[in-house]
A and B are shown apart, each in its own frame.
Chain A
Amino acid sequence: MPLSPEQIQRLARLARVAVSPEESSAVREQLNRVLKLIDELRAVDTTGIEPMSHPVAELIPAGQRLRDDEVTESDCHAEYQSVAPAVERGLYLVPKVIE
């Protein structure tokens, strides 16, 4: 089922990626090509097949072990915040959310 221009705008909103009106028709045309490819899956009979979310489940059926719940990291916030676009007094700055 091809995507409509309205669906493209809705997806762009959900994904938080602006798609400009100029880009919209090219994006739609290319996404519809990809959809045509993945639509092949819909006809496959998968009755009784468990979804495979991860190859690890096949490799260690018991699942991954959890590590002990203890502090392993030291405080690196100054270093990590040194690459942030806007920081003040150890806080990340974003536009005002609550009036």
Chain B
Amino acid sequence: MLNSTLCELSAALERRAISSVELTRLFLDRVERLNGALNAFITVDAQRSLGEAHAADQVRAAGGAGPLTGIPVAHKDIFCTRGMLTTCGSKMLADFVSPYDAHVIERFASAGAVLLGKTNMDEFAMGSSSESSFFGPVRNPWDRARVPGGSSGGSAAAVAARLAPAATGTDTGGSIRQPAAFTGVCGLKPTYGVVSRYGMVAFASSLDQGGPMAKTAQDLALLMNVMGGHDARDSTSLARDAEDYTRELQTPLAGLRIGLPREYFGTGCAPHVLARVREAIAWFESQGAKLIDLALPNSGLALAAYYVIAPAEASSNLSRFDGVRYGHRARAYGDLADMYCRTRAEGFGAEVKRRILIGTYVLSHGYYDAYYLQAQKVRRLIARDFAAAFARCDVIMGPTAPSTAFPLGANADDPVQMYLNDIYTIPAPLSGLPALSIPCGFDGAGLPIGLQLTGSHFAEARLLGAAHRYQQATDWHLRVPAETPL
């Protein structure tokens, strides 16, 4: 059961081979046994989970079950959950019990899924290693001396170690896909506006997007059927008809045009990563896909544009943490301004402060045009590159990250070195595009490698279909870390 896909679990529940209470208990026991070593979860409430499982079993007995009824799902601790801690990995929200549910939480609840717990993450989703959490670093199940990537590292580690059959994450510059690659799981960042951000703690609002993480592309499709769709409470949620994200799972690969941007296959990427990625692409070619060389000439500027735009939006979004309405407040202070300054100095960690200060700088008088406006213009150049590329191909493939998982602390002193992890994942969210990471092999040290598939707007089903075909022919996605045996 632990290594089963959502489809298999759903079938087992339907034929009464197992109850949701039994299944939930199985995962809760595993979390209890292994979470101490991995620190993937911040909050687990076994009683609540088992209560939801019991309710799901009753729904099934009454004949009202859907595909996810009774299946435990872990949620990144950035999604507000009513009556439960929502910390965003920060001291600022260490005691915050949300008075309402995020849209994504509501959708999973109404689909009958069981909330298994809230997963650890980089503070306010700012990071690529899940080390900046106030609740301590998450460890990679493939090698506990290494990071799981970030910022959705807790969700990635939970799925990789089979502590949860599936999880949610959020992606601003790669926070679903890079940890998916580092831990050997699948993760999808949907098109901007497809998943409602209502109740999802905001970091950079023109980029943030929630998405699913699971063992297979098919599971991602099932999760997207629950997560996706219009929500009037999020002004950036797109009013579109509901989609069935499983609809292209059986689509043959013959004739699929795969674009290979030369910028993604350069010297910035570790050779063993490139080798596995090229092997995967060769498999697609062997199935009748056509490979097309192309260029994304402005992609080299994406990192710089992102580190203006994301901190600018963060400095604005995080101004809400003022110690007045919710969250931490300093114990001792003088006047109001002093209360703000001390509250925020105590409540935020180093990386969050850094980004707030950078954002404040690029938005300040005399620098706005040179940095912020210029970054937005470069953003358009990057989006145009993709538009031109997708006139010639259906999907762009390349590595998800330039290396495999690095040791804890390796990038502690140099933020820019940390940022370089996201060179291949940042261009898609800048352009609002959907992108997916799936496992495509291992390096010499046994660490997973991710293949990234990027599509044009609303091409999620196409990406999931291509990934599913690959997973019918490979078993990278079913391998389990030796440190967390089944």
Q: Within the assembled complex, what's the spacing in Å between the Cα atoms of A53 and B356? A: 19
Q: How large is the interface on A (under 10, 10 to 19, 20 to 34, 35 or more residues)?
A: 35 or more
Pair A51/B307 contact, Cβ less than 8 Å = no
Q: In this assembly, does B304 line the interface, its C-beta being within 8 Å of a C-beta of chain A? A: yes
**Interface size counted on chain B using CB atoms at 8 A:** 72
Q: Are A41 and B305 in contact (CB under 8 A)?
A: yes
CB pair A14–B364 under 8 Å, yes or no, is yes
Provided the pairs A30-B354, A40-B301, A59-B432 are in contact, do residues A16 and B97 lie with their beta carbons within 8 angstroms?
no
Contact code string A20-46 (vs B, CB < 8 Å = 1, else 0):
100000010011011111111110101
Main secondary structure of the interface of B (DSSP, over half): helix
Complex contact B354–A31 (CB within 8 A) = yes
Interface contact A55-B206, CB-CB below 8 Å: yes
How many pairs, one residue from A and one from B, have CB atoms within 8 Å of each other in the complex?
176
* Interface segment out of the listed B102-110, B162-170, B331-339: B331-339
B419 engages A41 (CB within 8 Å): no
Cα of A70 to Cα of B319 in the assembled complex, Å = 28
Residue of A with least CB distance to B414:
A33
Given known A-B contacts A31-B357, A37-B303, A49-B381, A84 and B232 have beta carbons under 8 A apart? no
Q: Which residues of B contact A37 (CB under 8 A)?
A: 303-304, 307, 416, 419
Instruction: Verify B324–A84 contact, CB threshold 8 A.
Output: yes
Q: How far, in Å, is B300 (CB) from chain A's closest CB?
A: 8
Contacts of B155 in A (CB 8 A): none
| A44, A80, A86, A92: the one within 8 Å of B374 (CB) | A44
Whether the Cβ atoms of A76 and B99 lie closer than 8 Å is: yes
Contact assessment for B344 and A41 in the assembled complex, using a CB-CB cutoff below 8 Å: no
Q: Chain A residue with minimal CB distance to B193?
A: A56
Q: Is the CB of A38 within 8 A of B377?
A: no
The complex places the Cα of A52 from the Cα of B431 at a distance, in Å, of 9
Q: Given the interface contacts A38-B362, A65-B239, A94-B336, does A56 sit within 8 Å of B192 by beta carbon?
A: yes
Residues of A near B342 (CB, < 8 A) are 18
Chain B residues, Cβ within 8 Å of A35: 358, 361
Q: Is the CB of A30 within 8 A of B415?
A: yes
A17/B235 in contact, CB under 8 A: no
Give the chain A neighbours of B380 by CB distance below 8 A.
Answer: 49-52
B23 beta carbon closer than 8 Å to chain A: no
Q: Is A75 an interface residue (CB 8 A)?
A: no
Q: Which residue of B lies closest to A82 (CB)?
A: B99
Asked if residues A92 and B324 are in contact (CB atoms below 8 Å), the reply is yes
Give a binary string over A56-72; 1 marks a CB under 8 Å from any B CB, 0 the rest.
Answer: 10111000110100000
Bound-complex Cα distance A55 to B190 (A): 13
**B353 in the interface (beta carbon within 8 A):** yes
Q: Is B236 an interface residue (CB 8 A)?
A: yes
Contacts of B232 in A (CB 8 A): 67
Also in contact, A58 and B341, with CB within 8 A (given A49-B377, A95-B336): no
Is B354 touching A27 in the complex (CB atoms < 8 A)? Answer: yes
Distance in angstroms between the alpha carbons of A44 and B336 in the assembled complex: 42
CB distance from B386 to the nearest CB of A (A): 10
- How far, in Å, is A67 (CB) from chain B's closest CB? 6
- Mask of B190-215 contacts with A, CB within 8 angstroms, 1/0: 01110000000000001000000000
Task: Report if A38-B345 is in contact (Cβ < 8 Å); known contacts: A14-B360, A33-B414, A59-B432.
Answer: no
How far, in whole Å, are A55 and B370 apart by their CA atoms in the complex? Answer: 21
Is A85 in contact with chain B by the CB < 8 A criterion? yes
The answer to whether B339 and A83 touch across the interface, beta carbons within 8 angstroms, is: no
Whether, in the assembled complex, B436 has its beta carbon less than 8 Å from a beta carbon of chain A, the answer is no
CA–CA, A30 and B239, complex, Å: 42
Interface residues of chain A, those whose CB is within 8 Å of chain B, are: 3, 8, 11-20, 27, 30-31, 33-42, 44, 46, 49-56, 58-60, 64-65, 67, 76, 79-86, 92, 94-97
Tell me the B residues contacting A by CB distance below 8 Å.
Answer: 96-99, 191-193, 206, 232, 235-236, 238-239, 301, 303-305, 307-308, 315, 319, 322-329, 333-342, 344-345, 348, 353-354, 356-362, 364, 370-371, 373-381, 383, 414-416, 419, 430-432, 457
* Ranked 8 nearest A-B pairs via Cβ: A55-B432, A51-B376, A18-B345, A46-B377, A85-B329, A52-B380, A18-B341, A16-B340
Q: List 26 A-B contacts (CB under 8 A).
A: A11-B360, A11-B364, A14-B360, A14-B364, A15-B356, A16-B319, A16-B337, A16-B341, A33-B415, A34-B415, A34-B419, A37-B304, A37-B419, A44-B374, A46-B374, A46-B378, A49-B377, A50-B380, A53-B376, A58-B457, A59-B192, A83-B99, A83-B325, A85-B324, A96-B335, A97-B335
Apart from A37-B419, A84-B326, what are 12 other A-B pairs with CB-CB below 8 Å?
A16-B337, A20-B345, A41-B304, A42-B374, A50-B380, A56-B192, A58-B431, A59-B193, A59-B432, A84-B324, A85-B326, A95-B333
